[in-house]
Amino acid sequence: MVEGSVRKHMKLEKHIELLAELHLARTRTCSIEDAAASSMHDMVATGIPCPPASQLPEAPEPAPLVPSTWQPFDGLPDELCEDESVVGDDDLIMSSDASSSKSESTSSDAPLSEYNSDNEADDEEWDLPEAEPTEPTGETPQNGESSQDPLDNEDGAGTRKHRRNEPNIWWPFKSQEYLVASLLIGYTHTLISRSLYNHIKMLFKLFDIVLPDWSTIRNVKKGLRDLLRMDIKGSISILKNPTYGLSLPNILAQEVANPIVSPSIDYYPQEAHGQDVYKLSQSRKWLEELEPMVRAPMCRVGEQDWYLFEPVQTKSDKIVIPLFFYSEGGEMYAKCVAPNYHFNSNGVHLRLTFPAGLPFRSNMLESLLVSDFDLDCNMIAGVDGVLLLDRCRDSIYELADEVTTWHHVPNPWRQKADAYILLLHAIGSATQVDQPELQLSLSEHIQRRGAMELAGPIVSDLRMMSSDGFAAFDCTIQEEVLLTSTVLCFLGDSPMHAEITSTPIPGNALHPCRMCPLSACNSHRILDNSFSAILATNKGKLLQGLGNGTPAAEETAVENSASKLGVKDVLSRTLIDQRYEIIGKASEATPAEADFLQNLENTAKISTKSLFNTFFELAGFDGCRDTPVEVLHVFLLGVVKYMVQDFMRNLRPSEKPLIQARYRSFNIDGLNIPSMQADYLTRHFANFIGKDFRIVVQVAPFVLFEYMDEEEVELWAALCKLAPLIFQTHIEDMNLFQDQLSQHIRQFLFLLVKNTAQWVNKPKIHMLLHLLDSISRYGPASLFATEKMEGYNSILRNASVHSNRHSPSRDIGVSFGDYHNLRHLVSGGFFYDYKRKVYCSAGVGVVGIFANNRSIQRSMGFNSGALDNSSGSYPSIRKWRVLESLKVGTPAELQSFLTGYEITQVHEVSWTCKDVILPGSFVVNLVAKLNMQHNCHRGECPVCLTKRVRVEQQDTNKFTGEVAHTNEDNYVVNLASLLSTLAHRKFSDIAFEAIPDHGYVEALHEGLAKWHAASTRTGPPGPVEAIDPGLQ
């Protein structure tokens, strides 16, 4: 590394000039010395005196070697120019204590004293190691085999030839040290500060390992962003604020080119017939409900490409038009309609038509294997040899009652694809942060930017991907494809869903639900309709006129219109508020504010769409139905939170120590709960987060039921039976599951309203009814849950901490971009080398670090252990050493069966990556894990002060309560377990008791009476008879 740096500095023009002056001075000195020696010889021979040395001409003093300023890296060919006016360093990731400090360097009087310990200048720009110049052959280089060593230069042909025979296995990094330093600086959760990196670098140097400087690694990452085309895109919002983000097409293209991710991506919906549903490609939305313009437009079978809305001829000589492509049983199918033929009067031309809006399950559609297609639209001809395209004049028509839709034949996507495979990449959109798998992001980390303001560039990318597509390299087939994309759903909590759909936040609103026509003109109708909505499932209905309103001339008129229509566009509302605020200033308005008004008027003249919610421009996106009920915020942080806080607040002080003791004695084996803090669960119930409510809902039957009355026990039992259904991740039979979920939701709401009708004030109670449609539309609720995305909040905070605060949003984008690039390289992802014009992947050394280090895999979100179950890694020995008290002799039958083998007892066996067989257990075949709990209710187990308190891992003389179990043979299955939910239900086989219809009416009356009797501030207005005259 040192040799390479020195050779690089020797090429500097300034260095060469100074070196030439030095050689010239030495030459003059040598000439004078030779002349002096000759004069001395002459003096000895002839006696002529030699002039003194002081009269000799002095050699010029060479100028000190000063490192010249390095020129910036010119980048790769066709590189997009960057905006030089942007404030802040685009790749500066540092902590506040080192935002402006230089890296430490050893003090020396030598010419290299201004360089760090690696002989690299702090401001030195890093050049990517150039690959071996070869002619493009169309083949994909594997793992940097043709890469050139960075030390190669034109000064040593022999060295260059030797280096070519030894390819750089760390390409595109210079060496292993550069890769290690990039990993050490960190990403996502593991970012470190500059000062900490310098400290670790110093420790590495003690073992003769010299890591590059911090600034050098910054330049390395900048070079990688140029190489992989993953740079930050800047834009100006409608509110004239700068925003930054990553390119969505580039992110998705990396996923398709990643050999670990790409094999798991589905490009076509799957027909599962409601059986074994566990992934989004089996969802009803993708299979049946996508609009024609956003469906998968092409399917390739063999070497033939087939497109939607193009007539095809089957092998049985039938002419059909495919309207849907889907997969079933590993085969590609198409839903096709037979066209109607309408000949013109001349009999030469004809008009092909088919009915408009045919649903996927229509009887007019026929399911055909795509492999049974024979001729495409360009080859179908009649007996007279005239092509069908010529007869129908490149057109087919979709007929409706009032509208006729024209389709061009061939499909326009055929020309766009240009013989490439065309694939549909369906994605979800999230409101947390950018997710490396298949999620898109809106981050409100910077408080000055709202979600609607940040949505502009994202929606623009989504529209481009849906209408035009983008090129990507599919590593599974090793060729370029044209990728198109559409949004399946938008993930978020209730307030974010309300903002995205421009609907009011549920609560005291005239239109409290965006998914059904629940509405009221006054408080009396809100109450009446809420009860009817809770006890009867409503069909979803889109809000009419969503986003169609025009800002009124007066601000009050805008407010009245928004309240009447139930539409509240955050973006347009912000623009209106700013406009009226500036107008109110009159002559006191600043020139910038006047320019804002003028720009607003100019924008409105061109197009008013940019003044409103940009998500309304997404093709095929239904904001009211494509915002599924999110179980974290609606169920755990909604229904369960209400129930827990209501129960805990009504406890007597003497009962809380008993509940704490029962928490402490609860057996968490088989529940996937790492630990339980009894004191925290008892005292701090008001500060619970999602995982805490998960614990409570699983332990409630064995911890809380002892302190409830019969009505509360019945209500909580219904809640604990409902929770496993909601969190079930694998649905064996969708129709049966929907019936069970509907029954349990209705039973829970029946008991809840019977307890008190006051719960109607909670809109999340009503939203449980729409969970049925969300699961039917998308699959298990875990697929559209945002709980897994909450961890990215800490990533955002960590990235903002390691920033110089000049441009925090840009620094956050740089942090995520560097993470994507590093993840793509180390996992063996392919990328286009613009110099060699080929697709290639990183060197074997780079990929090997990821493949052989499970900790690096986990830090990048890849859990290889989850794949080991099917690869023969389990079962395996977890612990060999057996305690003396647990040792047993080898059974004689086993020893006789295995004659000639030595049998050894082991302590623990790992059955899977999560399941462990402990001493005293014998497993023949593991089907599922069931959580069993002691039946303390029947055994009347008391709470005794027998558990010694441990402080700082030391036993003390203090004792706390624990449950003293009696009758050790009496256990029950914990049906509230959220792990192996289906196995628990099948094993328990508890019959469901249906509630008669009149029971709902009676429960409503009873709940209303209790609410009215409580005389609460938010109680029902007037007497109970005013709500239902039947109560008289």
Q: For residue 868, what is the DSSP state?
A: G
Which helix or strand (DSSP H or E) is residue 971 part of? strand 971-973
Query: Does the structure show a pLDDT above 50 at 740?
Result: yes
CA distance 880 to 773: 51
pLDDT for position 434: 34
CB atoms within 10 A of CB 241: 15
pLDDT for position 796: 83
Give mean pLDDT, residues 605-613.
80
Tell me if the bond preceding 172 is cis, omega within 30° of 0: yes
Query: pLDDT tens digits for 57-106?
Result: 444 444 443 333 333 334 333 333 334 333 344 443 333 333 333 334 33
CA distance 969 to 479: 64
Give mean pLDDT, residues 109-125.
37
Cα dihedral angle (270, 272, 274, 280), rounded to 10 degrees?
A: -30
Lowest mean pLDDT segment, chosen from 10-14, 570-574, 1021-1025: 1021-1025
The maximal CA–CA distance of the chain, rounded, in angstroms, is: 149
Tokens of 22: 């030095």
Lowest mean pLDDT segment, chosen from 266-275, 357-366, 426-435: 426-435
Q: What's the residue count for the chain? A: 1032
Average model confidence (pLDDT) for the chain?
77
Give mean pLDDT, residues 6-34.
64
pLDDT for position 452: 81
pLDDT for position 110: 33
DSSP per-residue codes, 786-851: SGGGTTHHHHHHHHHHTS-SSSHHHHHHHHHHHHHHHHHHHTT-EEEETTTTEEEE--HHHHHHHH
Query: How is the chain split among helix, strand and coil, in percent rounded to 5?
Result: 45, 15, 45
CB distance 726 to 635 below 8 Å: yes
CA distance 184 to 190: 8
pLDDT for position 137: 41
pLDDT for position 965: 87
Amino acid at 637: L
DSSP per-residue codes, 756-786: -GGGGG-HHHHHGGGHHHHHHHHSSGGGG-S
Give mean pLDDT, residues 496-525.
68
The label of the residue with tokens 């209408």 reads 467
Lowest mean pLDDT segment, chosen from 101-105, 379-383, 523-527, 845-849: 101-105
Amino acid at 209: I
Lowest mean pLDDT segment, chosen from 35-44, 217-226, 739-748: 35-44
Give mean pLDDT, residues 102-117.
36
Give mean pLDDT, residues 684-694.
91
Number of H helices, E strands in the chain: 33, 28
Q: For residue 407, what is the DSSP state?
A: E
pLDDT for position 511: 67
User: What's the chain's Rg over C-alpha atoms?
Assistant: 37
CB atoms within 10 A of CB 156: 13
Which helix or strand (DSSP H or E) is residue 236 part of? strand 233-236
- Opening angle at CA 488, ends 538 and 863, nearest 5: 120
Query: pLDDT tens digits for 346-373?
Result: 777 889 999 999 999 999 999 999 999 9
CA distance 655 to 730: 39
CB distance 933 to 971 below 8 Å: yes
Dihedral pair phi/psi, residue 199, rounded to 5°: -65, -45
Query: pLDDT tens digits for 229-266?
Result: 988 888 888 888 888 889 999 999 999 999 999 998 99
Strand partners, 850: none
Q: Which residues contact 775 (CB under 8 A, 6 or more apart)?
A: 731, 737, 738, 741, 781
DSSP per-residue codes, 726-761: HT-S-EEEHHHHHHHHHHHHHHHHHHHHHH-GGGGG
CB distance 716 to 708 below 8 Å: yes
CA distance 216 to 5: 12
Query: pLDDT tens digits for 712-738?
Result: 999 999 999 999 999 999 999 999 999
More confident residue, 988 or 420: 988
Query: pLDDT tens digits for 816-864?
Result: 999 999 999 999 999 999 888 999 999 999 999 999 998 898 888 888 7
Range among 100-114, 361-375, 860-874, 903-917 rated most confident: 361-375
CB distance 333 to 271 below 8 Å: yes
CB distance 576 to 551 below 8 Å: yes
Give mean pLDDT, residues 515-529.
55
Range among 36-50, 305-319, 520-534 rated most confident: 305-319
Which helix or strand (DSSP H or E) is residue 485 part of? strand 479-491
Give mean pLDDT, residues 946-971.
87
